Amino acid sequence: MTGINLYINGMATINFCGTAQERALQPEPDYKLYIPDAGMRRRMSRVIKMGISSALMALESSGSNNIDAIVTGTGWGCLADTEKFLISILDNNERMLNPASFIQSTSNTIGAQIALILSDNHYNNTFVHGGGSFEAAITDAYLLAMEGKERILAGGFDELTPTKENLFNRMGVWRKHIKGEGSSFFVLSPFEEERSVGKIVALDAAGGNVSNNEIIERSKELLESRGTSFRGVKAALCGRESLCSYFSDMKIETEYFKASCGEYPTSSAYGLWRGLSLLTNAKRGDKVLIINSYLNEASSIMIIEK
Amino acid sequence: MNREVYVGGLGAITAMGVGKAAQLNGLIAGETALGPLTLFDTSHDVIVGEVKYSNRELAVMAGLNREIEYSRTTLLGLLAAAEALEDSGVNIKGLRVGFISATSVGGMDISENFYRHYNKDKNRGRLRQLVGHDCGASTQFIAERLRTGSFVTTINTACSSANNAIMMGARMIKAGLLDAVIAGGTDSLCRFTINGFSSLGILDREQCRPFDATRSGLNLGEGAGYLFLHSARVKTHRQYCTVAGYANANDAFHQTASSADGAGSYLAMSGALNMSGLRVKDIGYINVHGTGTPNNDASEGVAMNRLFAGNTPPFSSTKGFTGHTLGAAGGVESLFAILSLTQGYLWPNLNFRESICEVPGMVPITKTTKKEGITSVLTNSFGFGGNCSSIIFKQDKIGQL
């Protein structure tokens, strides 16, 4: 998709990355500011708290809680609640189960909770397609903007549970990737505002497991479709470390963004947040390229512009 | 430019059988396909709508290696999606064809087996079994198998998932991003959902009785249903109907319960109607969500009564045939609604006796009824998190079944 002009008029992110000790040292947001009910907070898993809080923070930064759609993406869904319910089935031999974790295990829990908090009756959708989940949510947001929606709340989130950490360890994933979890939300609009931090102008989310050469080639094509080339790129954010040298060789400012968010299916949402942060002091027309790949499964390319 | 979205192929598998013909025969016969659970052991005494084939048998039917462990969701989905594609008669070479699938359990049936071992010892459990756990894994596998990879994604908004998948597909065609999409959903029975709905106290031990005063819960089912959606430039064997309207709205009332006034379902149905440009009296049949839980049917009934000002069109819940197929429900029931439209039938709402106290006098269709002149049908799917989605299919002037 290249004919996009999706302005970002509000955004927020919460992330934890690195070893368990490192993650424990990273400050948690004050969740009670966003979820004041202590009982609700206690019942909520990490991803639900991160998701709701980052969504409300993004709305706060946009200056208004009015929205006309909520779209979310999550690769792993509400993993902790899913595990909790699965374990309770086994441990209690299917008897006297508490439905709370079953209720909260559904992937659309966060989108639904946000709607509930905001009393929002509008469109609400959730994509659960591994490393392409956030990209699908952005695709939906693009369609919504074309259909006349003016303020779309879109986000991506995933949580790292002890089970996921252990299983990925057994699979050898952490030998090559940094552990991470997080949630990032954006208020998207087809209209520019004073507070717009930038806009998404192109997205290529069709990628499966592709080589560095192929991803560079596709990035080039995507830039060309916007009438520019690598020369017109102010910075490149890479979600695959081995891609960085391609850009540094071209003397383009380069960053491996997963060093600060870790690897999880919707880490590209953090990549978008990071890219937009780089545009804060940029001049109009400056472009940032965000290239992501999630493990060996999915890849995407996004161009954002001031 | 013609931005109409057409339905040019159908595919389904449910407790009634494999393929759309089996669905049509089952619906015309008016006989339930619900029965005791035989697929796996559980301590719950439940009635379910299970597809009467083992995973190995399904794999053989789908032309897959039966020695490989595929999730049941993948097998059911592949069979129905392949049927929808074949039914269209389209050679997809050179076309931008996407696959948008809904599922709420994904590969949970296999993850459950993994967890049984893992729960005892964190170093146990075959890691290979987790490859298909992701909701997206079944979708990706099917898309690669059918070579419909121009856009592939998975939606999970619980029980309304497949309606949202069909909407997403129709919107992408309208936006000119794709020429055709196979859209719908797939879900298999598993211990997770049986225990989940049981813990909520909304599983009926008897056959479900949607829209009946004595209803006391739902029966779970499994299956898959897909539509081949396409733009005017794609030529299919048959043109079943057009996707005339759709809307997704949120009840914003409770994570699992529906509001007493059915705010979300009212907005979804009225939104779909507004988009279609049709009048309420143009709707010839409604395939309601009608799970058979006291809460859902009351909320949906109140919303219909309000929207249609006391003159609700002929309607029925087909959950008494197949059980509630969760993430697949919107796909399966869109197909039932389209069969009503193209074959000229009103499907019966099994086990109805007395109308619900929230809407006295609201009576669904109770016997399979031949009806000429149905030009538009509505189908509802509502899910956890207040997620309500309605779609309207309209007879297409050009071609009919």
- The yes-or-no verdict on residue A10 having pLDDT over 70 is yes
Does the model's ipTM exceed the 0.85 cut?
A: yes
> CB-side exposure of B51: number of CA atoms within 13 Å?
31
Question: Is residue B399 situated within a structural domain?
Answer: no
% of residues, chain B, pLDDT over 70: 98
Residues B132 and B217 in one domain: yes
Burial of residue B76, with CB atoms counted within 10 A of its CB: 0-12 exposed, 13-18 middle, 19 or more buried? buried
Residues B160 and B249 in one domain: no
Residues B264 and B189 in one domain: no
pLDDT band with cut points at 50, 70 and 90 for residue B1: low
CB proximity under 8 Å: B 232-291 to A: 248-256, 263-264, 267
Going by C-alpha positions, the residue among A137, A26, A141, A23 that lies closest to residue A75 is A137
pLDDT attached to residue B124: 87
Task: Annotate A54-92 with DSSP letters as a single string.
Answer: HHHHHHHHHT----SEEEEE-SS-SHHHHHHHHHHHHHT
Task: Exactly one of B133, B135, B159, B208 is catalytic; name it.
Answer: B159
Rounded Cα distance between B77 and B214, Å, is 34
Residues B254 and B173 in one domain: no
Host domain of residue B274: 243-394
Rounded Cα distance between A161 and B55, Å, is 30
The hierarchical CATH code for the domain A198-305 is 3.40.47.10
**Is residue B159 annotated as a catalytic residue, yes or no?**
yes
The single residue listed with the structure tokens 């019942």 is A43
Question: Is residue B303 situated within a structural domain?
Answer: yes
- The yes-or-no verdict on residue A164 having pLDDT over 50 is yes
Which tokens belong to A158?
């995933």
Residues B203 and B265 in one domain: no
Task: Reduce the DSSP state of residue B250 to 3 states and report it.
Answer: strand
pLDDT attached to residue A281: 87
Q: Which residue has the higher pLDDT, B203 or A1?
A: B203
Nearest residue on chain A to B152, judged by CA atoms?
Answer: A206
Last residue of a domain, one of B230, B261, B296: B230
Q: What is the pLDDT of residues A254-269, one digit of tens each?
A: 999 999 999 999 999 9
Taking the domains of chain A in order of start, what are their residue ranges?
7-189, 198-305
Contact B153, A132 (CB under 8 A): yes
Last residue of a domain, one of B205, B230, B255: B230
Question: Is residue B373 situated within a structural domain?
Answer: yes
Q: Count how many residues are written for chain B.
A: 401
Residues B386 and B247 in one domain: yes
CA distance to partner chain A, nearest, from residue B158 (Å): 7
The single residue listed with the structure tokens 């309607």 is B315
Number of domains observed in the structure of chain B = 2
pLDDT attached to residue B401: 39
pLDDT attached to residue B397: 63
Rounded Cα distance between B163 and B330, Å, is 5
pLDDT band with cut points at 50, 70 and 90 for residue B67: confident
Going by C-alpha positions, the residue among B223, B197, B170 that lies closest to residue B8 is B170
Same fold: A7-189 with A198-305: yes
- B126 interfacial to chain A (CB closer than 8 Å): no
Which tokens belong to A283?
């001049």
Inter-chain touch B200–A99, beta carbons under 8 Å: yes
Task: Exactly one of B133, B230, B241, B289 is catalytic; name it.
Answer: B289
| Radius of gyration, CA atoms only, chain A | 19
Q: Which residues contact B216 (CB under 8 A, 6 or more apart)?
A: B204, B206, B209, B292, B294
Residues B42 and B128 in one domain: yes
Residues B104 and B210 in one domain: yes
pLDDT band with cut points at 50, 70 and 90 for residue B256: confident
The single residue listed with the structure tokens 């190995």 is B56
pLDDT attached to residue B398: 47
CA distance to partner chain B, nearest, from residue A253 (Å): 31
Rounded Cα distance between A291 and A235, Å, is 11
The end-to-end CA distance of chain B, in Å, is 26
- The yes-or-no verdict on residue B313 having pLDDT over 70 is yes
Residues B252 and B217 in one domain: no
- The yes-or-no verdict on residue A231 having pLDDT over 60 is yes
Rounded Cα distance between A78 and A107, Å, is 6
Question: Is residue B235 situated within a structural domain?
Answer: no
**What ranges in B200-350 are assigned the alpha helix state H?**
263-276, 294-307, 319-322, 329-343
Question: Is residue B236 situated within a structural domain?
Answer: no
The per-residue pLDDT of chain A, averaged, comes to: 95
- A101 interfacial to chain B (CB closer than 8 Å): no
CATH 3.40.47.10 fits A7-189, yes or no: yes
Residues B330 and B380 in one domain: yes
Rounded Cα distance between A204 and A135, Å, is 9
Going by C-alpha positions, the residue among A242, A230, A244, A209 that lies closest to residue A303 is A230
Rounded Cα distance between B214 and B354, Å, is 8
Query: Where is B22: in which H helix or E strand?
Result: helix B20-29
Which tokens belong to A2?
């290249």
Which tokens belong to B400?
């009919």
Q: What is the dihedral of CA A119, B159, B40, B26, to 10 degrees?
A: 150
Nearest residue on chain A to B172, judged by CA atoms?
Answer: A143
Q: Can you tell me the mean pLDDT for A136-163?
A: 97
Going by C-alpha positions, the residue among B204, B230, B109, B225 that lies closest to residue B161 is B225
pLDDT attached to residue B116: 86
Nearest residue on chain B to A139, judged by CA atoms?
Answer: B172
Going by C-alpha positions, the residue among A277, A291, A270, A266 that lies closest to residue A14 is A270
pLDDT band with cut points at 50, 70 and 90 for residue B22: very high
Inter-chain touch A103–B384, beta carbons under 8 Å: yes
Q: Which residues on A lie below 8 Å from B151 (Cβ)? A: 139, 206
Residues B212 and B353 in one domain: no
Residues B194 and B267 in one domain: no
- The yes-or-no verdict on residue B3 having pLDDT over 90 is no
- The yes-or-no verdict on residue B399 having pLDDT over 50 is no
Task: Reduce the DSSP state of residue B243 to 3 states and report it.
Answer: strand
Contact B278, B245 (CB under 8 A): yes
Going by C-alpha positions, the residue among B73, B76, B84, B30 that lies closest to residue B318 is B30
Question: Is residue B324 situated within a structural domain?
Answer: yes
Task: Supply the CATH number for residue B380's domain.
Answer: 3.40.47.10
**Is residue B289 annotated as a catalytic residue, yes or no?**
yes
